[in-house]
């Protein structure tokens, strides 16, 4: 077990240098930022010739790379010298405090499961993703894709794991926990969800982790802040995550283009020339307000999905993450390890269902 | 069977006057607009004393109202003189061409199922909802909530029903059909979806309805226009629908407020007074561009979810629909009936799975 509770040494974060749309460049830059801004040490794992000269940042050699489109489980089993597998081994062997990858999500998950193993008592680890909420702390949705088919009992464990995670990540003393379903009233949902609801309503699961169970959460409430932790099966969670990302990806450029067009028209009206050749002060003012709003809601800025339930911290970033996002995720991963999150997750699931 | 193929008379649309957040006022106004703008006749069904004087629009008396929060199936069974049940009976009895309700969705579904019955060969009717796509025709997602648990075979029928619907509604000669799941490659999904994929890939189902099967669709692609018809179980579909509506409901006011603030600042900068008391021409220009964009993407403007698979046209509108949306939905419902959509749906499912 690599949880840094057991050690006084501050260990570096093992970063898969080869994973991500613009790897290794973006990842290296993110590692540099993490050191400069947050003083968090990193080991870059990957092909030294591709990583190149990175100054004082240590590089751990791994000769193989799991591609973004590779079938995760078989790739991880086959490619024993891949960057993601070697990075997970550094955590397992106590050489690193936590693992970060922006590569193939399934491979990061499989490598973490196979090399770190599960926390005792955990049936299935789950991917937890924080969703931005207007004027409040994010809500964490899990499972966002680790388990396409779920047993009702697993959702109860997700509730326990999510509670420990949200408490630590967002400093919430008694996280509110809900279950994602298709109606407000109790007894709504599909067969699996209805069974999970009954288990969750029974309540004893919440004692050990001090959760506040708030019942059903509908799709429309995912970003409304009605619960701090929202549990669902990995099929549903992944589709919700991707759907909201997809809508964001449509809205942001559409709003930006619409505002730019309107700003040009407003300038032209002012200048009375009607050809839109005024200066760009209206657009600049618009963007100074709109950009921060979109950054706040951007699913790419939460930056750190986490696999909850493995014996070690495993954080998964978007393939399209910027260096800033990578550096934030490295800081988050390091903080989880230093705070002993894995121990807290282990304690949370000890309350039997 | 109430499909107007069998009749030369143009029948009115039976409208549940009592269903909707602002019923009956908004519904009556929508019925008036439908007559004025589109020449579509309506029968308003509900309590005459609450409906009041509506001039030449016929009113069919029903003494009961199924509330928005009522448990649908039992309410429909118990309240035999409710507006939604009576409206469905008018379609069943050949007095109306189609049914429209903006009330309790589950009750509209239950009343349609119980009073109209299923098309021969249809295992389970499904709710079809068109989603806006940028610069293209909408994509239709089904099932959006009629069946929380689904059999793989039902998704094949949803594909057939959706194909017939999309062809008629959006004038698509050979609709592209996909299945909602959690990866791009074949063989991704939960157990039910994987089984449905195998049936869909087999392909003979598509012959009778002339569908073009395009395979997996991820959550991020729901509004990207990659398929004209996207099938899923009713649990997943309802959560996707509500999640996207929820994000829209957050984004629209947030963008509007942000733009208003920025516009005031831009005006103040221009006027050099810094107190934001300039005229509102920048804001007016902004809104003239932003409002149409949001109207285009608004989930409340597609206006007409349809229950596919019942022996008669049953259209379900949002509870918060405006009179314009109601009038559009009435026109759509009437058009479906006049075009013989039910016959086309029946033909589409005759190809065995």
pLDDT in tens, A213-233: 999 999 999 999 999 999 999
What's the angle, vertex CA A128, arms to CA A125 and CA A130, rounded to 5? 175
Residue B6 has pLDDT above 60, yes or no: no
What average pLDDT does this structure show over A330-347?
A: 93
Q: Is the per-residue pLDDT at B1 higher than 70?
A: no
- Position B68 scores a pLDDT of 87
Q: What is the mean pLDDT of residues A78-90?
A: 98
Q: Given a cut of 50, is residue B2 above it in pLDDT?
A: no
Residue B275: per-residue pLDDT: 46
* Subunit contact A246:B219, Cβ cutoff 8 A: yes
* Count of A-B CB contacts under 8 Å: 180
Cα distance between residue A111 and residue A96, in whole Å = 15
Answer whether residue B274 shows pLDDT above 50.
no
Sign of the torsion formed by the C-alpha atoms of A14, A17, A18 and A22:
positive
Q: Side by side, which strands form the sheet with B305-308? A: B59-61, B42-46, B13-16, B98-101, B313-316, B305-308, B126-133, B136-142, B229-231, B176-180, B212-217
CB atoms B182 and A245 under 8 Å? no
Smallest Cα distance from A269 to chain B, Å: 9
- Give every CB contact of residue A249 below 8 A, 6+ residues apart in sequence: B220
A113 or B276, which is more confident: A113
Q: Where do the domains of chain B lie, and which CATH numbers do they carry?
A: 1-122+309-353 (3.40.718.10), 127-303 (3.40.718.10)
Write out pLDDT tens, residues B53-72. 999 999 999 999 999 888 89
- Which of helix, strand or coil describes residue B22? coil
- Find the closest chain B residue to A192 by CA distance: B149
**Residue A46: strand pairing partners:** A61
A180 to chain B: nearest residue by CA? B239
pTM for the whole structure: 0.92
Distance from CA of B77 to the nearest CA of A (A): 19
Q: What is the pLDDT of residue A227?
A: 97
- Contacts of residue B282 in chain A, CB cutoff 8 Å? 266, 282
In chain B, what residues touch A259 (CB-CB under 8 Å)? Answer: 259, 286, 289-290
Say if the Cβ atoms of B250 and A223 lie within 8 Å: yes
If you average pLDDT over residues A272-296, what whole number do you get? 79
Residue B32: its pLDDT value, please? 96
Residues linked to residue A242 through DSSP beta bridges, in sequence order: none
Cross-chain residue pair A149–B191, CB shorter than 8 Å = yes
- State residue A301's pLDDT score: 74
**Average confidence (pLDDT) over A64-93:** 95
Among A182-196, A204-218, B16-30, whose mean pLDDT is lowest?
Answer: A182-196
**Tokens 């839109």 map to which residue?**
A276
Give residue-wise pLDDT tens across range B314-349: 999 988 889 999 999 999 999 999 989 999 999 999
Summarize the confidence of residues A180-204 as an average pLDDT: 91
Interface predicted TM-score (ipTM) over 0.85: yes
Under the banding of pLDDT at 50, 70 and 90, the label for residue A303 is low
CB atoms within 10 A of CB B287: 17
Closest Cα in chain A, distance from residue B12 (Å)? 33
pLDDT at B141 over 70: yes
Average pLDDT over residues B258-271: 88
Given an 8 Å threshold on Cβ–Cβ distance, is B219 in contact with A242? yes
The encoded tokens of residue A25 equal 């460049």
Task: Name which of B67, B190, B191, B225 to mutate to probe chain A: the one with the most chain A Cβ atoms within 10 A of its Cβ.
Answer: B190
Q: Residue B301 corresponds to which tokens in the numbers above? A: 């403007």
Taking only the tens place, the pLDDT of each residue in B180-237 is 999 877 778 999 999 999 999 998 999 889 999 999 999 999 999 999 999 999 999 9
Contacts of B145 in chain A (CB under 8 A): 182
By Cβ distance, the residue of B219, B235, B281 closest to A243 is B219
How is residue B75 written in tokens?
Answer: 């309410």
Q: Is the pLDDT of residue A171 over 50?
A: yes
Comparing B184 with B155, which gets the higher pLDDT?
Answer: B155
Q: How confident is the model at residue B301 (pLDDT cuts 50, 70, 90)?
A: confident
Q: What is the pLDDT of residue A134?
A: 87
Give the number of other Cβ atoms within 10 Å of residue A331's Cβ.
19
- Ranges A4-13, A169-178, B18-27: which has the least confidence: A4-13
Confidence of residue B304 (pLDDT cuts 50, 70, 90): confident
% of chain A surpassing 70 pLDDT: 94
Between A157 and B303, residue with greater pLDDT:
A157
Q: How confident is the model at residue A176 (pLDDT cuts 50, 70, 90)?
A: very high
- Determine whether the interchain pair B293/A243 forms a contact, defined as Cβ–Cβ distance below 8 Å: no
Q: Do A242 and B190 touch (CB under 8 A)?
A: no
Nearest CA in chain A to B248: A247
Among candidates B224, B236, B269 on the partner chain, residue whose Cβ is nearest the Cβ of A285: B269
- Residue B247 has its nearest CB partner, among A148, A191, A244, at A244
Q: Report the distance separating Cα A297 and Cα A255, nearest Å.
A: 14
- Judged by CB atoms closer than 8 Å, whether chains meet at B218 and A281 is answered as no
Residue B47: what pLDDT? Answer: 98
Average pLDDT over residues B27-36: 96
Token reading at B101: 């309700």
């Amino acid at each position: 077990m690599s949880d840094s509770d057991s050690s006084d040494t501050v260990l570096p974060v093992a970063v898969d240098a080869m994973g991500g749309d613009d790897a290794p460049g973006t990842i290296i830059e993110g590692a540099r930022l993490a050191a400069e801004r947050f003083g968090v040490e990193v080991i870059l794992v990957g092909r030294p010739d591709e990583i190149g000269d990175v100054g004082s940042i240590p590089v751990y050699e791994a000769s193989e790379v799991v591609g973004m489109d590779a079938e995760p489980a078989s790739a991880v089993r086959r490619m024993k010298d891949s960057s993601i597998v070697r990075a997970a081994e550094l955590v397992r062997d106590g050489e690193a405090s936590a693992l970060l990858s922006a590569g193939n999500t399934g491979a990061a998950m499989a490598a973490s499961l196979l090399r770190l193993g599960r926390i005792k008592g955990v049936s299935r680890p789950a991917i937890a993703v924080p969703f931005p909420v207007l004027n409040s702390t994010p809500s964490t949705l899990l499972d966002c894709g680790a388990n396409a088919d779920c047993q009702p009992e697993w959702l109860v464990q997700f509730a326990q794991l999510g509670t420990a995670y949200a408490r630590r990540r967002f400093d919430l003393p008694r996280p509110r926990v809900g279950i994602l379903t298709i109606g407000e009233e109790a007894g709504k949902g599909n067969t699996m969800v209805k069974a999970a609801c009954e288990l969750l309503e029974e309540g004893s699961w919440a004692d050990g982790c001090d959760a506040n169970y708030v019942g059903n959460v509908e799709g429309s409430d995912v970003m409304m802040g009605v619960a701090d932790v929202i549990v669902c099966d990995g099929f549903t969670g992944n589709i919700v995550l991707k759907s909201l990302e997809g809508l964001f990806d449509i809205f942001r450029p559409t709003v930006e283009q619409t505002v730019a067009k309107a700003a040009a028209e407003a300038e032209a009206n002012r200048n009375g020339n009607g050809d839109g050749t005024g200066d760009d002060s209206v657009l600049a003012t618009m963007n100074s307000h709109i950009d921060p709003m979109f950054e706040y809601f951007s699913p790419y800025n939460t930056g750190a999905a986490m696999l909850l339930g493995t014996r070690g911290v495993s954080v998964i970033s978007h393939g399209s993450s910027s260096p800033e996002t990578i550096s934030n995720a490295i800081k988050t991963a390091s903080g989880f390890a230093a705070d002993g999150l894995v121990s807290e997750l282990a304690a949370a699931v000890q309350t039997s269902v």
